[in-house]
Structure 1
Amino acid sequence: MKHDLAKHFDYHIWANRQVFERLKSLPEDLFKTEIKSVFPSVSAVIIHMCVTDSLWLDIITGGGYEETKALAVRRNEELKEANIEKLIAFFEDTAAKYQAFLEGLDNLDLPLAVEHPALGRRETTVAELMNHVINHGTYHRGNISAMLRQMGYSSVPTDYAYYLWK
């Protein structure tokens, strides 16, 4: 299980890097261009992805939901004007923390109780929440791809098969 999850998290990192490289190759103003879509801008999606990854890491490593949510609100505020380079640095820092956490963990099926204000209490595991983080990234990379198309640009392939054949 640990091997598979670590590999899937490596895919998450790889796929986000693919998107970041594509965004850096596009006109700089496109990143914050407001459009009518799922998010108001590509920048807003990236900020959401980065902050949410950090939020779940805080929860997985023992932070309470309410205190972690407050920290996420502060991070969101700090990043709202960030350029792509600053967001990449934030993502890379969070990814390194995840990797260090995973390397130091012997049992990914450790029980974890999470109290969510809207969803209630859930008995889960580190593995289940890691799968959520990976799936969440896939979902939002799809949003970015659609938004880029809406603005007349292509995205990059980030399907898992592309990762396997890289």
Structure 2
Amino acid sequence: MTHRALKHLDYHNWANQRVLSHLKSLPEELFTREIQSVFQSVSEVVTHMCVADALWLKVISGAAYEEAKETGMRLKEMLKGKKIDDFVSIFQDTALQYETFFENLEDPDGEITIAHPAFGEIKTPVSELLHHVVNHGTYHRGNISAMLRQMGEAGVPTDYVYYLLSMKQPT
């Protein structure tokens, strides 16, 4: 993966796994505890992130938005009641699907046309849609950190610079 957008995909996957690992280290009930926040529980945020990643993968792979949305809704139903370990596997699988898609993509900056039912049609480079996926994940990882603080727990740093620093450290 040499394209800059693909490095951002690697960051996205790293940050998601970091958050999920952190959630696994906390009391299990925090994952589904209902609180007053943007989402009712951390599990709802994680589900939303998982569904969004899958939906946008379908879109950049050429599916119509409505078809991708239907796939997302089926996934959302399937994810009800899942544990953190289940999400770890699903996120890893989705990350592998993104990597495979981009490895087989001739030009990440090649344009595709997407039609959104509420916002209209745009022609945009695939790499720009990947940027949307990463940005969306960053936003919701922030929701999770805020929700954890609200429940008396610390979040985990997932800023891009921490990713860059972690890539410089020997494993």
TM-score, shorter chain, exceeding 0.5 = yes
**Structure 1 residue 109, shift from structure 2 partner:** 1.7
Matches within 5 A, 1:58-137: 58-137=58-137
**Structure 1 residue 75, shift from structure 2 partner:** 0.5
Hey, what's the Cα distance between the residues in 2 that align with 1:117 and 1:33?
34
Structure 2: segments with no counterpart, 5+ residues: 167-171
Secondary structure at the residue paired with 2:118? Answer: coil
Matches within 5 A, 1:35-74: 35-74=35-74
Hey, what's the Cα distance between the residues in 2 that align with 1:2 and 1:139?
25
Q: Which moved more, 1:31-40 or 1:64-73?
A: 64-73
Hey, what's the Cα distance between the residues in 2 that align with 1:125 and 1:161?
25
Secondary structure at the residue paired with 2:3? Answer: helix
Structure 1: segments with no counterpart, 5+ residues: none
Q: How high is the TM-score relative to the length of structure 1? A: 0.97
Hey, what's the Cα distance between the residues in 2 that align with 1:3 and 1:59?
20
Aligned position for 2:162: 162
- Per-residue CA deviation, residues 40-85 of structure 1 (Å, 9 max, x unaligned), is 0000000000010000000000111111111111110110211111
Count of aligned positions = 166
Identity rate, percent: 55
Cα RMSD of the aligned pairs, angstroms, is 1.1
Q: How high is the TM-score relative to the length of structure 2? A: 0.94
